[in-house]
């Protein structure tokens, strides 16, 4: 019997865009229109700014496009001005939460905070998309140590049963928004390395449950190669997800890949 292929995941991280809810609704509608209604083996997630999540969730009652969030705070409630909890996000239709994005780390988010975020998200049976990636590449391969340290800090002591709620997004910081991407062979090498780290820490069965996405200047022109040669399980898409035609093109590449 042939092995069932893993569902691919394509996530659009809108960051602090677009400027109004009207613009957000239009972009969301444009993306939906380009996806069609036929079910596929690709899960599409959009992570808009917090104020837009509930209004956009109302536009996708069937869940054809799943809603995600760009961050969360690790406390369940209390006197934490400006923060948003897992239960709040869950209550407005969010199912995926991006954690440890390089832009959050650059603002001072620590490994300890990311770890507490992960525990909150998976503890509430939500899906955590944990971002890892190096700032630069050195010829000695020290960037592998960076990724291993980030993985270990974010997932230490995690119950192996929770790994069905964990996705890793490999985002080399030097590629984000730069128009540059690593060679697909290098992406595949990093995927294998991530799987090895997870296997060493938690065993083969939990590690096998974890998708590994690629993020960093993904376009409809390099997506097919990254899927075929990089063998990633989908993408975390930034700027291209703000252009419906471009985002739909990336999703189309993923759909075509699942049919091969």
* Catalytic annotation, residues: 101, 171
The CA distance from 73 to 56, in Å, is 21
Q: How many other C-beta atoms can be found within 10 angstroms of the C-beta atom of residue 103? A: 18
Does residue 18 have a cis peptide bond before it, meaning omega lies within 30 degrees of 0? yes
Phi then psi for residue 193, to 5 deg, are -65, -45
CB-neighbour burial class of residue 53 (10 A; exposed 0-12, middle 13-18, buried 19+): buried
Q: How many other C-beta atoms can be found within 10 angstroms of the C-beta atom of residue 52? A: 22
The CA distance from 61 to 154, in Å, is 33
DSSP helix/strand/coil, 207:
helix
The CA distance from 73 to 82, in Å, is 10
């Amino acid at each position: 019997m042939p092995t069932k292929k893993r569902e691919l995941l394509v996530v659009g991280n809108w960051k602090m865009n677009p400027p109004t809810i009207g613009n957000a609704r239009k972009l969301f509608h444009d993306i939906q229109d380009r996806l069609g209604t036929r079910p596929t083996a690709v899960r599409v997630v959009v992570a808009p700014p917090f104020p837009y999540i509930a209004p956009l969730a109302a536009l996708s009652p069937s869940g054809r496009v799943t809603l995600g969030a760009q961050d969360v705070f690790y406390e369940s409630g209390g006197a934490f001005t400006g923060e948003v909890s897992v239960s709040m996000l869950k209550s407005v239709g969010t199912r995926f939460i991006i954690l440890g994005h390089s832009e959050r780390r650059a603002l001072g988010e620590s490994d300890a905070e990311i770890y507490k975020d992960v525990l909150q998200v998976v503890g509430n049976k939500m899906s955590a998309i944990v971002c890892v990636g190096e700032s630069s590449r050195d010829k000695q391969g020290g960037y592998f140590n960076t990724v291993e340290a980030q993985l270990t800090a974010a997932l230490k002591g995690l119950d192996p049963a929770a790994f069905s709620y964990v996705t890793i997004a490999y985002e080399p910081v030097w590629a984000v928004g730069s128009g540059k991407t690593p060679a697909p062979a290098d992406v595949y090498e990093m995927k294998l390395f991530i799987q090895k780290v997870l296997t060493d820490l938690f065993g083969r069965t939990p590690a096998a449950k974890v998708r590994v996405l690629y993020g960093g200047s993904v376009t409809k022109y390099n997506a097919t190669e990254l899927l075929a040669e990089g063998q990633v399980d989908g993408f975390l898409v930034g700027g291209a997800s703000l252009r419906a035609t471009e985002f739909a093109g990336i999703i189309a590449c993923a759909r075509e890949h699942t049919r091969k």
